[in-house]
Amino acid sequence: MMTSYRNYLSIMGLCLLAILSIKPALGAELPQNSECFESRDGMSQVNVHDTATGVVNVKCSPDTGGVLWWGDPFEGTIPMGDMEVEADYWHEEAVVKPREPQIDRNKMLTICGMACHNGVYVPIPYNKDPRPLKMHLDIIPDAMNLKHGKGSVWCLDCHHLVDRTKLIDNFGYSVSFNQPQKLCGKCHGQVYRSWRDGIHGKRIGMWDKGGKKRWWVCTECHNPHDVEQGDRNSGYAQLAPEPAPNLPKGMTNADHERMHHGPSKSESLH
């Protein structure tokens, strides 16, 4: 019942988007973004709508399309499930936003799981040497450009051999896409412990002891297929910044603060 209603809404939303995109001439007066991203552009999208309490669930940045404000921090979340948490925080209500709907947005996961990778007819590669696989570029655009583990890790070290809607940990147990920390933590133990303590990663909701918290899981911020991000060698992809503050009145540019270390550049400024 609910899902059909949501489908109806999303269809309406699509129509609206289509209508809006037909009129690019009105671009200057576009209304508030109807969709924005949380941490990973393209992989953590949220639709803006009113919540039951009368406030919007999120406010989007008009400049960068990122989430700027959370009206309802627990929207669309599910209980995190079993996880060892240090100290006496075990009784807290910890929730996560399931990753599967996000990954399955274009229904590829569903179709793949039913068609080829249904557990009966499965193309299992005999050669298990790490190598790029030239397939599924439609759902994983960076499949040929895997930047994780310096060439010693490949698809089937993380993805389930038979059940493609699941991940796999180093013991061969299947792990849900919703709980990637159970897989990532096997190698990145230090970060995992830090995340468990609430030091690494993001949480929103209530700060107080015993309060409900939404935890961000690994893949909500990091792209597991490209954790190097080129020569920046950082786990977080670049994004567009919000606009700079206004210059003080009477100041025409900010050249005064642009100083460069080393004389060659500073000379060119003056």
Partner 1 sequence: MPNQEKSKEKDSKLTTRRDFLRGAGNYTVASLSGAAMLLSNPKPAKANVTWAEHFQKNYRLMTEEEKQEAIERLETRYSEEYGQKVTVDGTPSIDGVLFGYALNIQKCIGCRRCVKACVAENNQSRGDEQQIEWIRVLRMEKGNFSAEDRDQHGYPESFGVQVGGNAYKPAGVVLEGQHYYEPDQVPEKDAFYFPMQCMQCEKPPCVKVCPVRTTYRDPDGIVVVDYNWCIGCRMCIGACPYWARRFNWGEPNLPKEELNPHTHYLGNRPRMKGVVEKCTYCVQRTRKGRWTACVEVCPVGARKFGNLLDPNSEIRKVLAKKKVFRLRADLNTYPKFFYFMD
Residues that bind partner 1 (CB under 8 A): 38-39, 59, 61, 64, 66-70, 73, 87-89, 194, 197-209, 211, 216, 221, 231-232, 234, 236, 238-251, 254, 256-263, 266, 269-270
Task: For residue 40, give every residue at least 6 positions away whose Cβ sits within 8 Å of its Cβ, in sequence order, or none.
Answer: 219, 220, 221, 222, 223, 237
Tell me whether residue 183 or residue 217 sits nearer to partner 1 (CB atom): 217
Name the minimum Å distance from CB 265 to partner 1.
8
Name the minimum Å distance from CB 29 to partner 1.
15
**Dist. CA 48–CA 32, nearest whole Å:** 9
Do the Cβ atoms of 57 and 48 come closer than 8 Å? yes
Name the minimum Å distance from CB 237 to partner 1.
9
Tell me whether residue 100 or residue 197 sits nearer to partner 1 (CB atom): 197
**Dist. CA 95–CA 229, nearest whole Å:** 29
Name the minimum Å distance from CB 14 to partner 1.
26
Name the minimum Å distance from CB 257 to partner 1.
5
Tell me whether residue 127 or residue 268 sits nearer to partner 1 (CB atom): 268
**Hunting for tokens 């949501």 — which residue is that?**
6
DSSP string, 156-194: HHHB-SS-TTEEE-TTS-EEETT-THHHHHHH-HHHHHH
Name the minimum Å distance from CB 226 to partner 1.
15
Tell me whether residue 92 or residue 163 sits nearer to partner 1 (CB atom): 92
Tell me whether residue 9 or residue 30 sits nearer to partner 1 (CB atom): 30
CA atoms within 13 A on the CB side of 17: 11
Q: Is 66 helix (H, G, I), strand (E, B) or coil?
A: strand
Do the Cβ atoms of 145 and 137 come closer than 8 Å? no
Tell me whether residue 91 or residue 134 sits nearer to partner 1 (CB atom): 91
